[in-house]
Amino acid sequence: DHFPPGATPFKIAMKRLILSVLLIAAHGAAPFYTGTWKIEKAVVAPWWTEKQIPDPVESKELVGKTLSIRANNITGPGLLNCPGPRIKVHQAPANGLFQGMLENLPNQPAALTSLGFQGKQWKTVTTGCENELDFHFVNDRTLTFALNNYIYFAAKQ
The predicted structure's pLDDT at residue 21: 60
The predicted structure's pLDDT at residue 8: 75
pLDDT tens per residue, the chain (157 residues)?
A: 566 666 777 776 667 767 666 655 555 678 999 999 999 999 999 999 899 899 999 899 999 999 999 989 999 998 899 999 999 999 999 999 999 999 889 889 999 999 999 999 999 999 999 989 999 999 999 999 999 999 999 999 9
Kindly provide the b/e burial profile for residues 57-94, where b requires at least 16 CB atoms within 10 angstroms of the residue's own CB.
ebbeebbeeebebeeeebebeeebebeebebeeeebeb
**In sequence order, which residues have a C-beta less than 8 Å from that of residue 79 and are 6 or more positions away?**
131, 133, 147
The predicted structure's pLDDT at residue 92: 96
CB atoms within 10 A of CB 22: 10
The predicted structure's pLDDT at residue 108: 92
Predicted structure pTM score = 0.80
The predicted structure's pLDDT at residue 1: 54
